[in-house]
Amino acid sequence: MKVTIYGVRGSIPVAFSRSQYYGGNTTCIAITTQAKDRIIIDAGSGIYALGKELASKGPTELAICFTHAHWDHLLGFTMFAPLYQKENFIRIHAPSTIGQNGIYNVLGGIMDKRYFPVTLDDIPSRLDIHEFKPEDAFYIGSAFIETCPTCHPGGNVAYKITADGWTFFFSGDHEWGINADDNPMCQRLRKFLHGVDVALVDAQYTDEEYLTRQGWGHSTYSAWPQEAADAGVSHLLFSHHDPAREDQELGRILGQLQKTFHSVPVTMDMAAEGMIISLKDQAIDITKKALPYIHQKELQCVSDTSLLEWINTFTQELSRYNDVGVLLDRILHEGRTITHADAGTIFLITGDSLHFAFIHNDTLFPGVAANKFAYANTTLPLSSTSVAGYVALTGQTVSLKDMRDLPVGVPFSFNESLDLSTGYRTISTLTVPIWGPNKSILGVIQLINSMADGMPVSFTQSMQSRVQLLASHAGTAIERGIMAQEFVLRMLAMTALRDPHETGPHVQRVGSYAAEIYHCWAERNNVDIDELRYTKSQIRLAAMLHDMGKVGISDTILKKKGKLNEAEYTIMQTHCALGAQFFTTSTSALDAMAQDIALYHHEKWDGQGYTGTDQSSLAGQEIPLAARITAIADVYDALCSKRCYKEAWSSSDAVHKIIQDSGTHFDPELVDCFLHVLETIEAIRVKYPDLG
Q: What residues pair up with 22 in beta bridges, in sequence order?
A: none
Q: Across 306-390, where does the E strand assignment appear? A: 341-350, 353-361, 379-381
Edge-to-edge, what's the strand order for the sheet holding 28-32? 126-132, 89-95, 61-65, 38-41, 28-32, 2-7, 275-280, 283-288
pLDDT of the residue at 364: 75
pLDDT tens readout for residues 385-408: 999 999 999 999 999 999 999 988
pLDDT tens readout for residues 466-521: 898 888 888 888 888 888 777 777 776 666 665 555 566 888 899 999 999 999 99
* 136-143 own/partner pairs: CB under 8 Å, 24+ apart: 138/93, 140/37, 140/39, 140/63, 140/65, 140/91, 140/93, 141/33, 141/35, 141/36, 141/37, 142/33, 142/34, 142/35, 142/37, 143/1, 143/31, 143/33, 143/37, 143/39
Tally of CB atoms within 10 A around 255: 12
pTM: 0.52
**pLDDT mean over 287-316:** 56
Q: Domain 499-687: which CATH class? A: mainly alpha
DSSP state of 117: S
Residue whose C-alpha is closest to residue 343's, from 239, 410, 425: 425
pLDDT tens readout for residues 305-354: 456 677 778 888 888 887 888 888 899 989 998 898 999 999 999 888 99
DSSP state of 682: H
Q: How confident is the model at residue 367 (pLDDT cuts 50, 70, 90)?
A: low
Q: What residues pair up with 443 in beta bridges, in sequence order?
A: 348, 434
Report the length, in residues, of the chain.
692
Q: How confident is the model at residue 56 (pLDDT cuts 50, 70, 90)?
A: confident
pLDDT of the residue at 303: 45
Q: Could you give the C-alpha distances from 5 to 8, 107, 168, 239, in angstroms and in order? A: 7, 23, 12, 10
Q: Nearest-5° angle of CA 427, CA 397, CA 386? A: 60
pLDDT tens readout for residues 648-684: 899 999 999 999 999 999 999 999 999 999 988 998 8
**pLDDT mean over 524-530:** 87
Domain parsing of the chain, residue ranges? 2-291, 317-479, 499-687
pLDDT of the residue at 177: 85
pLDDT tens readout for residues 577-594: 998 898 887 668 888 999
Angstrom distance (rounded) from CA 406 to CA 413: 8
CA Rg value for the chain: 35
Residue whose C-alpha is closest to residue 174's, from 201, 195, 197, 143: 201
CATH number of 317-479: 3.30.450.40
Angstrom distance (rounded) from CA 291 to CA 312: 29
Helical spans, DSSP H, in 232-323: 247-260, 293-318
Q: What is the largest CA-CA distance in the chain?
A: 115
Angstrom distance (rounded) from CA 167 to CA 148: 15
pLDDT of the residue at 48: 95
* CATH superfamily of this structure's domain 2-291: Ribonuclease Z/Hydroxyacylglutathione hydrolase-like (3.60.15.10)
- Any idea which of 370-379, 445-454, 538-547 has the lowest mean pLDDT? 370-379
Instruction: Give the chain's mean pLDDT.
Output: 88
Asked if residue 221 lies in contact with residue 255, where contact means CB atoms within 8 angstroms, the answer is: no
Domains 317-479 and 499-687 share a fold: no
pLDDT of the residue at 373: 61
pLDDT of the residue at 357: 85
pLDDT of the residue at 495: 62
- Rounded to the nearest angstrom, the gap between the alpha carbon of residue 355 and the centroid of all alpha carbons in its chain is 28
